[in-house]
A and B are shown apart, each in its own frame.
Chain A
Amino acid sequence: MTAQTTASGKIAEFNDVFRPSKSLGQEAWSRLVRNKASMFGLVIIVFFIFMAAFASVISPMNPLELHGGKRFLPPPFDQGATNIKAEPEFLLGTDSLGRDTLSRTIYGARVSMVVGFLPTIIILLLGTTVGMLAGYIGGHTDNFLMRLTDVIYAFPDLLFFIIIMVALRDTFIGQFMNGLVLLFAALAIVNWVGVARLVRGQVLSVKQKEFVEAARCIGAKDNRIMLRHILPNCLSPLIVSAAFQIPGLIITEAILGYLGVGLRPATDSASFFITSWGALMLDGQSAINSQPYLLLAPAICVALVVLAFTFLGDGLRDALDPRMRGTQ
């Protein structure tokens, strides 16, 4: 009895002095949670993801329904300069064909969210593989792969996307899923280069470390060293670069849509991707005086999402690498 009390007392004492150990991931997460700006960003991102996923439930109207005779209605709260009478059920007014602006903006979130996340996964996989091989194998392989990235790096990327989208728009792949697949491919082809350079640099510094040497001494194979020992040490910069990659892709999609070479607007209500924010801005451009909300609604959405990702990215960088704090 007495022995037991002493033992549990010792454990309690031990717990007072030594907190339970946290993994690096938990440490980083708790640092991230304390960062107000990042949490604000995260909330906005989650909000838009929900908006994209449940667009059909949230949106007050069918985004494709044409309301004849109700074109360019101003929103009820801002009559503006037009003499067209606003109607209360169209919260943000209507567009040139009498479609509800709010519903179309809500559906637009789908494209931006998908364009932000899916190509990023491809970019990370491709970039990590190439960077890892170049850094680990070295020699001619490294030389060849890095010269390749140099050439792609020199290509003005926005121009490349435009060329690809313009030229291949009417081909089979350009029409597949309203052109989304083609857009993904174009974005991925150019953007993996930055990730590859990042990973290569990281691999070069990590592979000289003692623990890699130790792993090799006990007979670990190259595959195992790369995946189990080197890759985990590249994860922090990879996560941060992904957080900055996503808003870049969303902006690119919006620009392409605005230039009229992005996603094809759907007319079929069965289609999952009805329209994109860029395409909405292109529509709104012509009515900038009479119905500015056509342009403002998607523009504000793009700005909010991009700002949210920047805040999150900044927070992630501080959380994952505290030494970097405040230097950038």
Chain B
Amino acid sequence: MTTYIIRRLLWLIPVLLTVSAVTFVVMRNAPGGPWDTDAERRQVDAATAKSLAAYYGLDKPMWRQFYAYVIGDTNSQTKEWVCGVVCGNLGPSYRQRGRTVQNILFSPPEGKTFWQSRFGYSIRLGVLALSMAIFIGIPLGIIAALKQNTIVDYAALFIATSGISVPSFVLAIFLIIIFASRLHWIDIVVDDWTQIKYWFMPMAVLGFGTLAYTARLTRSSMLEVMRQDYVRTARAKGLAERIVIFIHMLKNALIPVITILGPALAGLVTGSFIIETMFSFPGMGRAYVQAIGQRDYSMIMGTTLVYALLVAVANLSVDIIYVFIDPRIRLEE
């Protein structure tokens, strides 16, 4: 077990290295350097641009820059060792002068807790959406399976199919137009995210697809389990229906559902940036979209790495949980 986890963790290294290498090469080949303009978007003169490039090591060969980005390098002017991504240093933001990428993403505003940082906001939204998907999606799937081919089942299937196929940002557009611009139940531009009521819409929009997928998977896996011999045996020996459903069926039916939770969480985290932008939610995703608009290359690279790490860790944890809950899974030697 331990060797398995260690091997999976080690496998993260080439994956993240590849992600950062690809991102790095593409970004460095993009036309236009980061120091072409100053903070007010005025053209910077050649001498200043050159010294800035030298200060940030952009005059060095590509492999050296990548090495500096990942491991670290000695600054050519201050002669100080600057550690790279391995120490959690994602480098300076090219557009927000004086701030580093990790500072923008992870540091909360003055006097606030970690959960008020951009990363904290995104994590909270993702976890809320995932809990909504689990606590509504799984019961919905169970009920649909138990009442197969009734109106309840068809209604649940309809919700599930539409939830899977309608993309979340299209759903967001519909909801915003109905509830914000027509019914005026909520504000379109929210600046006070400490109030709970504003969280409902982004959470619902973000989680709906996962909810639908969870419901559909729970239903099909329940239907499969219901036909098994051991369920018939349980009924035959006179167990209460409640016990048969909750103890005998669910235990096996939920295994496939758990496997999709990792990719689902990863999808929620990476899929959130478009929802965050639409609801002007102060999370990591919106910072990412703003960075795209401003062509803030270091910010784009840093955020991509954080996202890639999140996705990889989510998948890894589900694989590990899977081994614990399903004794039929044997680890490949």
Contact = CB atoms under 8 A, between A and B. Distances in A.
A156 B274 contact: no
Contacts of A295: 173, 177
A201 to B, nearest CB: 15
B128 interface: no
B98 interface: no
A261 B181 CA distance: 27
B170 A159 contact: no
Interface string B257-275: 0000000001000110010
Contact of A310 (B164, B277, B307, B315): B164
A255 B274 contact: yes
A328 B222 CA distance: 11
A163 B304 contact: yes
Contacts of A155: 18-19, 22, 308
B312 A154 contact: yes
Contacts of A306: 165-167
Chain A interface SS verdict (over half): helix
A284 B185 CA distance: 21
A310 B165 contact: yes
Interface in A67-85: none
Contacts, number: 119
A258 B32 CA distance: 23
Contacts of A11: none
A145 B242 CA distance: 49
Interface in A232-266: 247, 251, 254-255, 258-261
B26 interface: yes
Interface string B300-319: 10001001100110010000
Contacts of A158: 270-271
Nearest to A260: B293
A3 interface: no
B100 interface: no
A40 interface: no
A303 B167 contact: yes
B170 A302 contact: yes
Contacts of A226: none
Given A167-B26, A327-B220, A259 B177 contact: no
5 contacts: A154-B311, A156-B308, A163-B300, A255-B274, A310-B164
**CB-based closest 9 A-B pairs:** A167-B30, A310-B165, A154-B15, A299-B173, A251-B167, A167-B26, A307-B165, A299-B170, A170-B31
Interface of A: 150-151, 154-156, 158-160, 162-164, 166-168, 170-171, 247, 251, 254-255, 258-261, 281, 288-289, 292, 295-296, 299, 302-303, 306-307, 309-311, 314, 326-328
Given A259-B274, A288-B181, 6 more contacts: A155-B22, A160-B22, A254-B167, A259-B277, A307-B161, A310-B165
